[in-house]
Amino acid sequence: MENFNFHVTTDIRFGKDRLSELPEVLNVFGKKVLLVYGGGSIKRNGLYDRVVQLLTDNGSTIVELSGVEPNPRIETVTKGAQLCRAHQIDVILAVGGGSVIDCSKAIAGGTFVEGDLWENLVLKRRYNGPALPLVTILTLAATGSEMNSGGVISNMATQQKLGMGGKNLLPKASFLDPTNTFTVNAYQTTAGSADIFSHLMENYFNATPGTDVQDGVAEGLMKTVIKNLPIALKDPENYDARANLMWASTLALNGLTGSGKQGTWSCHAMEHELSAFYDITHGMGLAILTPRWMAHILNDVTVPKFARFAKEVWGIQDENPEQAAKKGIQALYDFFLENGVPMTLPAVGIDTEKDFEKMAQQAVAHSTIATSAFVPLSEKDVVAIYQACMSESTFV
């Protein structure tokens, strides 16, 4: 295990009927609030009205930024930063899923950045400057953005989707009420769960030895998703299923399972290019890519970790490590398929290989997957993984 710092100061308010605490949380920072949200689901389920009423009764000044995209655009970040400067905003309130929170993080920092925010904020990747305080109300279990300092922003003009972050972008407080996810449809519930699973796997499959604590926690959280996703799909208002998915989402990417490890995430680097070029749902892209990536890098060195994954996560008993590994990959593929993931690229609208080489070039250029991943990937490897996603797969 490597040396690490773990200092995550987000005030988590977990559970139902906690929203009345919102004014006291916001008042620490001020009365001028930028309210950020997405496509309007919070208006349909009544959450928007409750938030606005609480802020109004509190005497807050509300400035709204709506319409944040599923893959948040740099143009929306720029608009938000302009609003913050023009209205001298004290605190940002993000109400939504990871896209809304990611966008709000970039706005929080971008408010203090001069010039083009793509060039001077996102392309810098690490932001160490000041930021407006951010409070979140989570409505989708997926990205874990409610308790970490990173975000992902897209530039559709340049076909780039890049991660950025900084310690001052960590949310000050996050309200996690599982009942706010009751109305999330089956497609987004599954996509979110695939995202949670991918975050855990990207940290789990790592070359750093001696990380028993992190790996054991990750295995438990993966089994939590396996158990609770089907329940949530069958009974969308099952509180315990939604609560466990929500808390798993938060713990999957707050540093708990990734600290003390060295290495680069592979599937996220490849999926970011799928989303940048084709604007697909992030979690679905990850679900499609991950089993093919696993099969592509399966070798004598990686077999032991894959065999452990098969045994500890899926309960597969096979004395042959390679066969156990393959059965674990198949189990993951079948789990996604059985829970509604379209497991090929054509099924999500990508029916051509014409961009694969350019996407592979950018995946390598925008990350360190060619040098420090669990198994380093060349552009040729990435193209082969994309190609494997063009048709249904069998691994056993």
Per-residue pLDDT of the chain (396 residues; tens, 9 = 90+): 999 999 999 999 999 999 999 999 999 999 999 999 998 889 988 999 999 999 999 999 999 999 999 889 999 999 999 999 999 999 999 999 999 999 999 999 999 999 999 999 999 999 999 999 999 999 999 999 999 999 999 999 998 989 999 999 999 999 999 999 999 999 999 999 999 999 999 999 988 999 999 999 999 999 999 999 999 999 999 999 999 999 999 999 999 999 999 877 899 999 999 998 998 999 999 999 999 999 999 999 999 999 999 999 999 999 999 999 999 999 999 999 999 999 999 999 999 999 999 999 999 999 989 988 899 999 999 999 999 999 999 999
Q: Which of 181, 198, 226 is the last residue of a domain?
A: 181
Residue 136 lies in a domain: yes
Residue 141 lies in a domain: yes
Residue 3 lies in a domain: no
Same domain, 133 and 240: no
Residue 4 lies in a domain: no
**Rounded to whole angstroms, how far apart are CA atoms 333 and 343?**
8
- In eight-state DSSP terms, residue 373 is B
Number of domains into which the chain is organized: 2
CATH number of the domain that residue 55 is part of: 3.40.50.1970
Same domain, 324 and 371: yes
Same domain, 239 and 202: yes
The pTM is what? Answer: 0.94
Q: Which of 149, 181, 213 is the last residue of a domain?
A: 181
Same domain, 359 and 268: yes
**Rounded to whole angstroms, how far apart are CA atoms 396 and 393?**
10
SS3 36: strand
CA nearest 276: which of 387, 355, 178, 199? 355
Residue 373 lies in a domain: yes
CATH number of the domain that residue 370 is part of: 1.20.1090.10
CA nearest 166: which of 120, 126, 124? 126
Same domain, 70 and 174: yes
Q: How many CB atoms lie within 10 A of CB 106?
A: 29
Residue 393 lies in a domain: no
Same domain, 153 and 283: no
82: tokens are 């302009």
Residue 323 lies in a domain: yes
Same domain, 170 and 192: no
Same domain, 235 and 306: yes
| Model pLDDT, residue 264 | 72
Q: Which of 157, 181, 205 is the last residue of a domain?
A: 181
Sheet holding 32-36: strands in order across? 11-14, 173-176, 134-138, 91-96, 32-36, 61-65
Strands 61-65 and 91-96: unpaired
SS3 153: strand
- Structural domain boundaries enclosing 126: 11-181
CA nearest 345: which of 301, 285, 281? 285
Same domain, 170 and 232: no
Same domain, 148 and 76: yes
Residue 2 lies in a domain: no
Residue 138: alpha-carbon gap to chain centroid: 13
Same domain, 221 and 347: yes
Same domain, 218 and 350: yes
SS3 333: helix
